[in-house]
Structure 1
Amino acid sequence: MSETHIIDGVIKTGSSAAHDGIASVGGEHAGRRWRDTQQQAIDNIKSRRVSCYVAPPNGPRVAVIIGERNGREYLKTANDGEQPNNLLSLRSCG
C-alpha cells in the first residue's frame, strides 16, 4: 500500500515553459517535512510507493499525476490541462 503525501510547495526551475517549470516538490508527511526532485516524485508515483495530492484550503484534494510532453514526463494535477498550473501556484518550498 502506498503512502499519501500532500504537496504544499514547489521549487521552480525558472523555465518559461510550465511543463518544465518544476525542479522539486515538497510537503509534510507523518510530522516531518520532505522534499523530492520532480524525477524522484515521478518514480515514486510510477512505482506506487507514494500517492501525491494537492490540498487547496477551500476544496477537495486533487491527485498529482504524471503528464508527458515531447517524450518527457512531468508532474501535474488531475485538474490541470497540459500546464501544471495548480502545482506552479504553490508556495516555494526552497
Structure 2
Amino acid sequence: MTELTVTCHTPDNLDADRRMQGIGGMNGFQRWYHPIDNVIANIESGFHSYYVGQGLLRVRVLVKVNATSGRKYITTDPDGHRNNNLLSLPHCP
C-alpha cells in the first residue's frame, strides 16, 4: 500500500450531491492526480491510502456514503475541524 499526501482537490461539477471530482499531490518529485472514483477504489481495495497534512497534524482520507443519493464520496477522518479538510486545500492545476 502506498501512502499519498493530498495537497490539492478539484471541486464538484455541480452534480446533485456536490461530490468533488478528484485529488492530487506530489510523490517525491512526481505530481499525481486521481479522479474520485479511482480514489474510492484505491482506498477500498487497500492499494493506496491518502492523507492530508504532515506529522502529528496528518489525517486520513475516508470513504463514506451519501445517505440521500447512495453515492460514495471522500472526506477526512474527524480531527476536531468541522469541515472536510480536503476542501481547504487549493484547487489542482
- TM-score normalised by length of structure 1: 0.81
1:74 match = 73
Q: Supply the AA of the counterpart residue of 2:58.
A: R
* Higher-RCO chain (CA-CA 8 Å, sequence separation at least 6): 1
2:60 pairs with one of 63, 66, 82: 63
Q: Which runs of 4+ in 1 moved over 6 A?
A: none
Percent identity for Structure 1 against Structure 2: 30
Work out whether residues 4 and 50 of structure 2, in 8 Å CA contact, stay in contact via their aligned partners in 1.
yes
Does residue 37 of structure 2 align to residue 9 of structure 1?
A: no
Please tell me whether the aligned partners of residues 19 and 73 of structure 2 are also in contact (alpha carbons under 8 angstroms).
no
Unaligned runs of 5+ in 1: none
2:86 aligned partner, one-letter code: L
Structure 2: unaligned runs, 5 residues or longer? none
Count of matched residue positions in the alignment of Structure 1 and Structure 2: 89
Q: Distance in 2 between matches of 1:37 and 1:84?
A: 21
**1:40 maps to what in 2?**
38
Compare the two structures and name the one with the higher strand fraction: 1
Q: Residue 28 of structure 1: which of 1, 26, 29 is its match?
A: 26
RMSD of aligned C-alpha atoms? Answer: 2.5
TM-score under structure 2 length normalisation: 0.82
CA distance in 2, matches of 1:51, 1:76: 13
